[in-house]
């Protein structure tokens, strides 16, 4: 881990993404060793991600008629602009929150 990783974690955290979305994103980017750790810590999340990966449009039978809309600007903003857009929140300077 580096200072850059820490600063990016603040940027990503400020966006208020759902926890399980962050965990699945981490699983997608992890190397084999870290994927093993994430898989051990979150076996159900890993199982669902694998099931959705193989399902048409990521939809499972249990989703029913649920519709999910992701705003285009969430993609366009991206994390690459993050460090200049980070907002300061109480507790950002320490681990205590």
Q: Is the pLDDT of residue 70 over 50?
A: yes
Tens-place pLDDT, residues 19-69: 999 999 999 999 999 999 999 999 999 999 999 998 888 888 888 887 777
Q: Phi and psi dihedrals of 90, rounded to 5? A: -55, 135
Identify the domain containing residue 19 by its residue range: 3-85
> Which residues lie below 8 Å from residue 97, measured CB to CB, with a gap of 6+?
90, 91
Angstrom CA distances, 32 to 8, 37, 38, 53, 60, stand at: 22, 9, 10, 18, 26
Number of domains in the chain: 1
- Read off the pTM: 0.65
In a domain, 91, yes or no: no
Q: How confident is the model at residue 90 (pLDDT cuts 50, 70, 90)?
A: very low
In a domain, 32, yes or no: yes
Compare 61 and 81 and report the one with higher pLDDT. 61
Q: Is the pLDDT of residue 76 over 60?
A: no
């Amino acid at each position: 881990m580096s200072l850059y990783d820490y600063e990016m974690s603040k940027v990503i955290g400020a966006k208020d993404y759902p926890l399980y979305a962050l965990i699945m994103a981490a699983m997608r980017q992890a190397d084999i060793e870290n994927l093993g750790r994430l898989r051990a810590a979150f076996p159900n999340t890993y199982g669902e991600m694998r099931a959705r990966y193989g399902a048409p449009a990521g939809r499972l039978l249990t989703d029913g008629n649920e519709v999910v809309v992701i705003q285009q600007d969430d993609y366009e903003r991206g994390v690459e602009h993050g460090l200049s857009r980070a907002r300061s929140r109480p507790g950002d300077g320490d681990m205590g929150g």
